[in-house]
C-alpha cells in the first residue's frame, strides 16, 4: 500500500512554507499527503461534528508547537497513527523535533526507519441528568476554571467511588504525566516523567493551603461534581475546546484504553527537553 502522511500546520508563515516544501518532497518520492490547518485553541464549535484523520495515514507531522501537536492528536482521535511534533519558534515538550531535522525525519519514516513511544491519555465523559453529553480523549489535561468574576469554585472529588474532598479553589486540573509540564506545572504541580503510571490532580489557587497536588494510580476513576448554584464555570479539554458546566454535570475521567504514539527523535532525551524548557542551569557532570 502506498504511504500517505498527514500534516497539521500552524497558522504561521514559516510553518506553511515548510509544509509546502515537505509536500513537494513527499510527492517526488511517491508519497501522498493530507494537510489540515491546526485548530485555534478553544474555538471548535462542539455542535459541529469533529474532523477525523483518514485511517490509512502512515503518520502525522504536527508543524508548529505544543498546541499544534494537541490539535493533531484530536484529529487522529484514538487511531493508532503515530505523531511527530516539529517545533517552530519556542521549544516545546511535545513538538520535540527541530525544523532543520524535518526532511531527515521524513526520509526515515518513508523507509520505516523510526520508533515510537506510548503516552497515556485520559478518557473524559460529561454526564448531565443521566445522559452523556460530551466524550473526549485528552493527552495533557482537563481544566475546570471559574470565570473572572465568579466566586471560588466548590469542586467535589471522588476517586474510585470514594469521597476525597471538596476543593475550594479557582479551579482544578486533572492531567497525565505528559501534561504535568503544562498548566499543572504553572499551578504548582509536580513534574512527572511520562513513564510514571499516574494521574495528577492539581488545585488552582486553593482557598485552603493544605489542598496540595495529588498523584494517584493510573487505574483510578475520578468523579468531579460542582456545588449547587455554581455559575460561570468552564471545563476545557487539552486547551483546545471547552464547555460550560454546572451542578447538574458529572465529569468522569480515567485512563484511556488507547495511548498516543509519539515518533521518537533519535538522540533526543526527555531530560534535555526539560532542562531547556525550564532553563535549568548546570552542565554535564564529569566522571
264 marked as part of a ligand binding site: no
- From the number of C-beta atoms within 10 Å of its C-beta (0-12, 13-18, 19+), residue 108 rates as middle
Stated length of the chain: 287
Q: Is 66 a catalytic residue?
A: yes
141 marked as part of a ligand binding site: yes
Which is nearest to 88 in space by CA: 179, 25, 30, 22?
A: 22
- From the number of C-beta atoms within 10 Å of its C-beta (0-12, 13-18, 19+), residue 231 rates as middle
66 marked as part of a ligand binding site: yes
Which is nearest to 260 in space by CA: 140, 174, 110, 111?
A: 140
258 marked as part of a ligand binding site: no
CB 145, CB 170: distance < 8 Å: yes
Which is nearest to 95 in space by CA: 195, 200, 182?
A: 182
In angstroms, the CA 241 to CA 135 distance is 12
80 Cβ contact list (under 8 Å, min separation 6)? 258, 261
151 marked as part of a ligand binding site: yes
Q: Which runs of E-coded beta strand occur in 10-64?
A: 32-37, 59-64
- From the number of C-beta atoms within 10 Å of its C-beta (0-12, 13-18, 19+), residue 168 rates as middle
The active-site residue, picked from 45, 66, 158, 232, is 66
Q: Give the bridge partners for 199, in sequence order.
A: 216
Task: Dig out the grid coordinates for 46 from the structure.
Answer: 462542539
* Catalytic machinery residues: 66
Q: Which residue numbers belong to the known binding site for NAD(+)? A: 66-67, 140-141, 151, 168, 170, 240
Q: Which residue numbers belong to the known binding site? A: 66-67, 140-141, 151, 168, 170, 240
Amino acid at each position: 500500500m502506498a504511504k500517505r502522511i498527514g500534516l497539521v500546520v500552524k497558522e504561521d508563515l514559516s510553518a506553511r512554507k515548510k509544509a509546502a516544501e515537505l509536500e513537494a518532497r513527499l510527492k517526488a518520492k511517491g508519497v501522498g499527503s493530507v494537510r489540515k490547518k491546526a485548530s485555534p485553541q478553544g474555538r471548535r464549535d462542539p455542535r459541529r461534528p469533529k474532523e477525523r484523520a483518514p485511517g490509512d495515514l502512515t503518520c502525522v507531522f504536527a508543524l508548529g508547537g505544543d498546541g499544534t501537536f494537541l490539535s493533531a492528536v484530536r484529529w487522529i482521535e484514538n487511531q493508532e497513527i503515530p505523531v511527530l511534533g516539529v517545533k517552530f519558534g519556542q521549544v516545546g515538550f511535545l513538538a520535540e523535533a527541530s525544523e532543520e531535522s524535518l526532511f531527515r525525519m521524513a526520509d526515515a519514516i518513508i523507509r520505516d526507519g523510526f520508533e515510537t513511544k506510548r503516552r497515556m491519555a485520559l478518557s473524559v465523559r460529561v454526564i448531565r441528568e443521566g445522559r452523556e453529553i460530551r466524550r473526549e480523549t485528552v493527552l495533557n489535561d482537563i481544566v475546570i476554571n471559574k470565570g473572572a468574576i465568579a466566586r471560588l469554585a466548590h469542586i467535589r472529588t471522588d476517586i474510585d467511588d470514594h469521597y476525597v474532598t471538596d476543593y475550594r479553589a479557582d479551579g482544578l486540573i486533572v492531567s497525565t504525566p505528559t501534561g504535568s509540564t503544562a498548566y499543572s506545572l504553572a499551578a504548582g504541580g509536580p513534574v512527572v516523567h511520562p513513564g510514571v503510571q499516574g494521574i495528577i490532580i492539581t488545585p488552582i489557587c486553593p482557598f485552603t493551603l493544605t489542598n496540595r497536588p495529588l498523584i494517584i494510580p493510573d487505574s483510578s476513576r475520578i468523579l468531579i461534581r460542582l456545588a449547587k448554584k455554581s455559575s460561570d464555570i468552564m471545563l476545557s479539554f487539552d486547551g483546545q475546546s471547552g464547555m460550560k458546566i454546572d451542578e447538574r454535570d458529572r465529569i468522569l475521567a480515567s485512563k484511556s484504553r488507547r495511548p498516543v504514539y509519539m515518533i521518537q527523535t533519535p538522540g533526543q532525551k526527555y531530560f534535555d527537553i526539560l532542562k531547556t524548557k525550564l532553563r535549568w542551569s548546570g552542565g554535564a557532570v564529569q566522571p
